[in-house]
Amino acid sequence: MVTSLFKHDRIKTTDAKAKELRRWADHIVTLAKRGDLHARRLAMSIVREKDVVHKLFEEASERFGTFNGGYTRMIKIGRRPGDTAAMTLVELVRSDGAKPAKKKKTKKKADTSVEVQPSAPVGATDDQPKEEEVQAEASIPVEDVPAETEEAEVAAPPADSKQDDSAEKIESEDTKKDPEPSDAEK
């Protein structure tokens, strides 16, 4: 199965086999990145096709050279019809999609100059109006200030007629009841 993965770059298999295949494939890619004769012989003991091993050892440094480990990608593709075994697509990862290792950033010194703005009077906060604003508002004539409360009362919609009807029914039922039982009921 490892030979098929390196030969075709991706294979479809069951979930359990894919997890085991990932271990073997990552080990063989690590051997191929080493590239020495002993690593090649160890890879040949697992992958039985000489041309697949040769191709893997030639391409390993440029294909997998930028990252360590994680040379395979497993994508779950659902269930197999018939026995409903969980199926997984196992493929070799390409390095052109991989991000290079991040370089450490050096911290730059921050600008220590601070602009000083005129401060507000002692005891004044942002929530409280400043003295100038209070004086400006006091100078506005009362006639120019809109009466919001009067408009709110006028703009109120009339009460629902259904609610009024239900209230009238309840009142009429209460008045219909006689406080004393009639002679027939006694």
| Per-residue confidence (pLDDT) for residue 98, from 0 to 100 | 47
What domain range is 151 assigned to? 131-174
For residue 23, is it within any domain? yes
CA 72 to CA 44: how far, in whole Å?
Answer: 20
For residue 111, is it within any domain? no
Closest CA to 69 of 30, 12, 108, 38: 30
Q: What is the pLDDT of residues 131-175, one digit of tens each?
A: 555 555 555 555 555 555 445 455 555 555 555 555 555 555 555
The domain tally of the chain equals 2
Shared domain for 163 and 79, answered yes or no, is no
Q: Residue 50 is part of a domain; what is its CATH number?
A: 3.90.1030.10
For residue 27, is it within any domain? yes
Q: What is the pLDDT of residues 114-139, one digit of tens each?
A: 555 655 555 555 555 555 555 555 55
Q: What is the pLDDT of residues 18-65, one digit of tens each?
A: 999 999 999 999 999 999 999 999 999 999 899 999 999 999 888 888
What is this structure's pTM?
Answer: 0.50
Closest CA to 49 of 93, 5, 14, 94: 5
For residue 145, is it within any domain? yes
Torsion of CA 91, 93, 94, 97, to 10 degrees: 120
CA 146 to CA 92: how far, in whole Å?
Answer: 74
